[in-house]
Homo-oligomer: A and B are copies of this chain.
Amino acid sequence: MTLKLGIGMLGYGFMAKAHTNAYKKIKYIFHPFPAEIELIAICGRDKNKAQEAAQRYQYQKWVIHWQDLVEDESIQVLDNTATNDVHCEPCIAALEAGKHVIVEKPMALTLAEARKMYEVAKEAEKKGIKHMVAFNYRFVPALRLARKLINEGKLGRIYQFRSNFLSDRLSNPQAPWAWRLSKEKAGSGVLGDLNSHAIDMVRFLLQTEVQAVLAWNPTLISHRLTPEGKSCPVEVDDVSLIWLKLANGAVACLEASKVATGYKTTWRIEIHGSEGALAFDLIRGNELQFFSRRDPVEIQGFRLIHVTEPEVHDYISYWWPRGHGLGWEHYHINMLEHFLRCIATGDNVAPWGATFLDGLRCQEVIEAALTSSRQGGWIELVY
């Protein structure tokens, strides 16, 4: 008999849309898939919006208290796409109720929360419960190829990791105040929202740990107006600058910004090693650049690889013909397919997916970055 996986969705924003879209596509894209996926319930604070989302996406029901998801017997998977302040409690409750849990990044509002969540997840794991943090960029075929080339030693000793995650979302001083600018709701600004991706990517690609953190998280625009015209203080950073000392001896520079006028969603990653280099930009997410010092000098140069070869590049064979490529939508689908498949087969979520341990490691760096930015010096991490 086919396994049934009932989904309980917490949140109805664009991320819930992206994840729901995934649950609808997994079955016929990743065919044959070892489970049936059922959209059981969607939950949100606004009754009308929850109802509309349930109708639009064909969830069997809608609820307004997350506890109703946790208590629902037909739900096996809690998908938490709520705001950062509603990550900790529902995730813990769901795990304790024996549900598999995926949560949006950053995993938690604070390091203390993340630690608690991880402890509960570790216990649940003993009973076969899976947990994942939605670091979706681990499922970009081009970044998978990057990891593979690094693993094979194509870059030699790693010298530098550079990340620039650039958005202009807040460039306009008239852009309105929103929950993401509140310390209480968001924990941090671009640090948690964008640089968390970079922190996870350092660990995913280089497979090393962070030893020390130096950070500067300035707030360039100190006040914004709410849609109602009230001036509110911006309590979190709009630029996040981090330097990392890595256990493998490499140097990482991570920048994230939402005042990077001109860029909607540009995420450049560059890695330099003794034998080669890699470059990636999310805005052209099907492409990976690879430079090898082992090529004859005469023809050395960055190769622009279009990572869309079904035979050799991860995930492509499931999707569209060679050359057509994937996008933002598909990284989420690949990610959720991995999570559900691990649930179905019992395989480990790591190393391809980020577990709550990975989420915790990321949160430790975020916390260190907050401290460093306040104090102005290096923070050592101890594991």
The reply to whether B160 and A257 contact each other, CB–CB distance below 8 Å, is yes
Q: With A243-B241, A299-B305, A304-B304 as given contacts, are A325 and B327 in contact (CB-CB < 8 Å)?
A: yes
Contact of A24 among B28, B149, B162 (CB under 8 A): B28
Contact flags A251-272 to B (C-beta < 8 A → 1, else 0): 1010101011111110000101
Contact of A145 among B293, B298, B330, B376 (CB under 8 A): B298
Tell me the smallest distance from the CB of A169 to a CB of chain B, in Å.
8
| CB-CB contacts below 8 Å: A272-316 with B | 272-277, 279, 283-284, 289-291, 293, 295-306, 308-309, 311-313
With most chain B CB atoms within 10 A of its CB, the pick from A157, A276, A324 is A324
Chain B residues in 8 Å Cβ range of A260: 159-160, 270, 272, 277
The reply to whether A302 and B304 contact each other, CB–CB distance below 8 Å, is yes
Q: With A28-B56, A259-B272, A293-B171 as given contacts, are A251 and B239 in contact (CB-CB < 8 Å)?
A: yes
Q: How many residues of A contact B (CB 8 A)?
A: 92
| A199 contacts chain B at the CB level, 8 A cutoff | no
| A167 contacts chain B at the CB level, 8 A cutoff | yes
| A173 contacts chain B at the CB level, 8 A cutoff | yes
The reply to whether B313 and A298 contact each other, CB–CB distance below 8 Å, is yes
The reply to whether A251 and B301 contact each other, CB–CB distance below 8 Å, is no
| A220 contacts chain B at the CB level, 8 A cutoff | yes
The reply to whether B300 and A167 contact each other, CB–CB distance below 8 Å, is no
| A320 contacts chain B at the CB level, 8 A cutoff | yes
Contact of A253 among B241, B297, B305, B322 (CB under 8 A): B241
Q: With A253-B255, A272-B259 as given contacts, are A328 and B325 in contact (CB-CB < 8 Å)?
A: yes
The reply to whether A306 and B283 contact each other, CB–CB distance below 8 Å, is yes
Tell me the smallest distance from the CB of A219 to a CB of chain B, in Å.
10
Tell me the smallest distance from the CB of A378 to a CB of chain B, in Å.
5
| A346 contacts chain B at the CB level, 8 A cutoff | no
The reply to whether A272 and B262 contact each other, CB–CB distance below 8 Å, is yes
What would 19 more interface pairs be, CB under 8 Å, given A162-B164, A260-B272, A296-B312?
A24-B24, A159-B171, A214-B214, A214-B376, A218-B251, A241-B251, A261-B273, A261-B274, A262-B277, A262-B302, A264-B323, A298-B309, A303-B304, A304-B304, A319-B329, A320-B329, A324-B328, A327-B330, A376-B377
User: What are 12 A-B pairs with beta-carbon distances under 8 A?
Assistant: A24-B28, A28-B57, A28-B58, A257-B272, A262-B279, A264-B308, A283-B323, A297-B312, A301-B304, A319-B329, A325-B328, A327-B327
